[in-house]
Structure 1
Amino acid sequence: MDSLIERALAADIADSVDAVTAAGLAEVGRQADVIVGAGPLPGTPEWVAEEGTEIPATRQLAWQLTSVRLQLAAGLDCSDTIVVLRAGGVTWSLIARAAGITRQAAHERWGGRVRDVLDRYGDGMPDSVADDEPPTG
């Protein structure tokens, strides 16, 4: 029995953690589809009716915001989703609402990761990123 305990405490779990995280993120996507809806299939009359409207973009934004909420509630890292949201022009205020925190807290929590990815050379953020960074200094 002691060998089982030792195995449980000493085993390299990195691959298992990756598998659990991947499964959790896949389930987040499925649950976001349940909550927001996946939208119509390409080529269907419903899809054609939405072409040229804001509905697909709004649905995608709602899906991503739902994903942030689910990831946070499940204890998963949502920083990649935050980067995608910021790259798409979403404000810190809206991200903060999804996270249930203040705008400043959202910026403090994820601003560094967003900068590391979207401004990795220090040349400035892409034009698509909302111009709502809190003042520094």
Structure 2
Amino acid sequence: MNRATLTKLLALSAVTGARSMAGLAALASARGGATKPPLLLAAATEMFADKSPSIGNRVDPLPLGGRALIGAGVGVLVAREAGECVVLGAVLGATTAVVATHIAYEVRRRLPVPSAAGGLLEDALVVAVASRYA
């Protein structure tokens, strides 16, 4: 896998670990089409809901598994677009999303600011990375 494709795959899979819909929304936003509006809405809704205390932990088994699957999907899409191995893309995407989920969770948990403020900082980073690599 070439360096540019690998960088894009890792970046978009990592933002998927922080915000599950961010990688797919970034890809849809860059390409347009029928999937763009619902994916952007899903990503925005997730960013809003993330600040609610009733939302469970992203590292719990079900949300983590969802992020792994979505990360795999992001990896497949990026690899296929570049003419690279989609199986490798899926494995790298899923792995990166899971690792990034744990890192983002721990960083936010340890920030010396209220959770909502940490979430807004996380949102800003996710949007910056996603828009750079989409």
Larger relative contact order, structure 1 or 2 (CA cutoff 8 Å, min sep 6): 2
- Identify the structure with the greater helix proportion: 2
Q: Same fold (TM over 0.5)?
A: no
TM-score, normalisation: structure 1: 0.29
TM-score by length of 2: 0.29
